[in-house]
Every structure is written in structure tokens, then in C-alpha cells.
Structure 1
Amino acid sequence: MFSLIAGALRRFNRLAAYLSGAVIIVAAGILVWQVAVRYWLKWPTDWEIELCVMLLIISTFMSAAHTQAERGHVAIDLLDTMLPAGINRLRQRLADVLTFAFCGFVAFNAWEFFHEAWADGKTSPSLWGPKLWIPYLFVALGMTTLTLELALQTLRRKEA
């Protein structure tokens, strides 16, 4: 069962990472379009920056679990070489547990924000006024998958 969940999460995270890359390309295209129409056509623009911020939020949170699975986050390698092996394992386990607790806390609160924005119909205060539940959903989903990835990594480390 453990390997089935881990495999499904790995496939989901890989797909989310590829889609996050595509979202960044879309955001870059929107920004280039905005600059071009403002400069050459003198069109006023009001929605492009906010949409790109939302797209980058979506991309960041949806790719976080894949980055964690690949151990692509910033690490302090100096401590690995300086500390004795037993203390280093203890440090890594403590870091895994604290990171899991923090990400779980953020994921829980992100789902609360999503529900509140959905139930109350909250929108951005900008002229464009997109629904806020959309970025909140991706923050909550991304933090949840990151928390699951951390849990699986912690269990794997415990088994090793």
C-alpha cells in the first residue's frame, strides 16, 4: 500500500512539475504581450500583472513537492561533513519532522483560506477582480502534496 501511494504521489508531482513549467512560460508570454501592447499600441493594461502573479503562485506551490522529492531545495551540506554520522541522522530526522509539522500547519490553514474565499465569494480588490479561491486552491493543494511527500520521505528514512 505504501509503495502504491508513493508511486501515485510521484506521478502526480511529476505531472504538476511539468505543468508548472508550462505555467511559467504562459506567464512570461503574457508579460511580453503586456509590454508590447503598452509600448507600441498604447493600450492600457490592468489584469496582466495580477494574472502573472497568480500563475507564479500556482507554479511555485504545485512544483514544491516534486522539488522536495528530488531534494532540490536548499540544503546545508557543510553540516553533513562536520557532524558525526549519528548526530547527523538525528539532525535530519528532526528537520524532517519539523518541516512536516510546519508544512502541515500551512496546508491546513491554506484549506481554511480556500474554503473562506469559496464560501464568501471573495475577489481581488483590483479592477479585474478575479476570484481568490483559485490561487488559494493551488496553495492548499501544493502544500498538501508537499506535506505528503515529506511524510513519505520521513517514513522511508525511518525504515532505512
Structure 2
Amino acid sequence: MKNNILRFNDILYLACIWISGAAVFVMSLIIPWGIFARYVLGTGSQWPEPVSILLMVVFTFFGAAATYRAGAHIAVAMITDRLPASLRWLCARAVDLLMLAVAMFMTFYGFKLVMGTWGQTIGDLPWMPVGATYLPVPVGGLLTLAFILEHMLIGYQGQRAVVTFDHEKIEAGAL
């Protein structure tokens, strides 16, 4: 059961990385097009800015979930590094519980926000519901929630000895 959960979370983690990377890549193509259309062609396109903002939201929430799982999120440890081991453990559990609360808040209220704004449209993108632009918030919260629960119940993914993926061995922390 534990290995199935870890494999599933590995797939979620890789999906978060690919989605975040694709969002940044597409955004890096869209922004120059908007500049080219405005200053070279003389006609500003309406869609590059809102699409780029949406891609930044996707990058932010999916990337945040991936960085949490990888242990690469921002952490100020100046004080906790100087504490005795028992207090460091207690602080780490408090952080886990606070992260759990934040992820649950993002998921619950994010879905309420999506549902409440689904019937509205964006002026520059009339075909896209406003709720769709907020969808990365609860989905990112749900992904982060899965990674927090993994961290709390199974342990930090960077401390796993070896993960096997289709007969390939991947050392700890390589994902």
C-alpha cells in the first residue's frame, strides 16, 4: 500500500513539474508575441496579458506543491537550527499542521471561489469562465494536501532509500 501511494505521489509530483514548466515555457512565448504585436505590428492583442497571468497562477500553485514535496520551499531556519533536537521535532510538526491547515483552506475556499465565479466571463477572453482562472488554487491546494499527508504519514520523500520505476532505480531526492 505504501509503495502504491509513493508511486502515485511520484506521478503527481512529476505532473506538477511538467505542468509548471509548460506554463513558464508557453508564457515565455506569449509575452514576446504581445510585445511584437503592439510595437511592430501596431495592433495590440487583447489575449496575451490575461493568458500570461493565468499561466503564472498555474505555475505558482502547481510549482508550490512540487517544491513542498521536494523540500525546496522557502524555509527560514535560523532559529530552529539552534534549538535542541526535541524542540526542532516539535517545530517541524507544528509546521506540518499549519501547512495542512493552509492546504485545506486553499482547497475548500478555492473550490467555493471557482463555483461562485464559474458563470462570469473575462472581458478579454469571453469564452473562458472566471472560475476556470481560479481552478489552479484548489487543485494546487489538493496536490499540496496530498504531499503534506505523505510527509506526515510516510516521511519526507527525499529520505527514501531507493524508488523503483519501470525497472530503473532512482536514488533518493532525484525526483
What is the TM-score normalised by the length of structure 1? 0.88
Aligned to 2:161: none
Aligned to 2:10: 10
Runs of 4+ in 1 over 6 A off after TM superposition: none
DSSP-derived class of the 1:41 partner: coil
The alignment covers a number of residue pairs equal to 156
Aligned to 1:91: 91
Gaps of 5+ in 1: none
Equivalent AA in structure 1 for residue 132 of structure 2: I
Would you say the 8 A contact 1:23–1:55 is kept in 2? Answer: yes
DSSP-derived class of the 2:129 partner: coil
Aligned to 2:106: 106
Would you say the 8 A contact 1:62–1:138 is kept in 2? Answer: yes
Map residues 118-129 of structure 1 onto 2, 5 A cutoff: 118=118, 121-124=119-122, 126-129=123-126
Distance in 2, Cα, partners of 1:14 & 1:47: 29
Larger RCO (alpha carbons 8 Å, 6+ apart): 1
Equivalent AA in structure 2 for residue 104 of structure 1: M
Shift of 1:64: 1.9
Would you say the 8 A contact 2:80–2:91 is kept in 1? Answer: no
Identity rate, percent: 25
Deviates most, 126-135 or 77-86:
126-135
Residue of structure 2 aligned with 1:147, choices 145, 149, 158: 145
Shift of 1:157: 4.5
Equivalent AA in structure 2 for residue 18 of structure 1: W
The structure whose residues are more often helix, as a share, is: 1
What is the TM-score normalised by the length of structure 2? 0.81
Aligned to 1:116: 116
The structure whose residues are more often strand, as a share, is: 2
Distance in 2, Cα, partners of 1:132 & 1:13: 27
The root-mean-square deviation of aligned C-alpha atoms, in Å, is 1.9
Gaps of 5+ in 2: 157-175
Aligned to 2:167: none
Aligned to 1:56: 56
Equivalent AA in structure 1 for residue 61 of structure 2: F
Distance in 2, Cα, partners of 1:82 & 1:136: 40
Aligned to 1:78: 78
Distance in 2, Cα, partners of 1:156 & 1:99: 16
Distance in 2, Cα, partners of 1:74 & 1:3: 28
Would you say the 8 A contact 1:13–1:63 is kept in 2? Answer: no
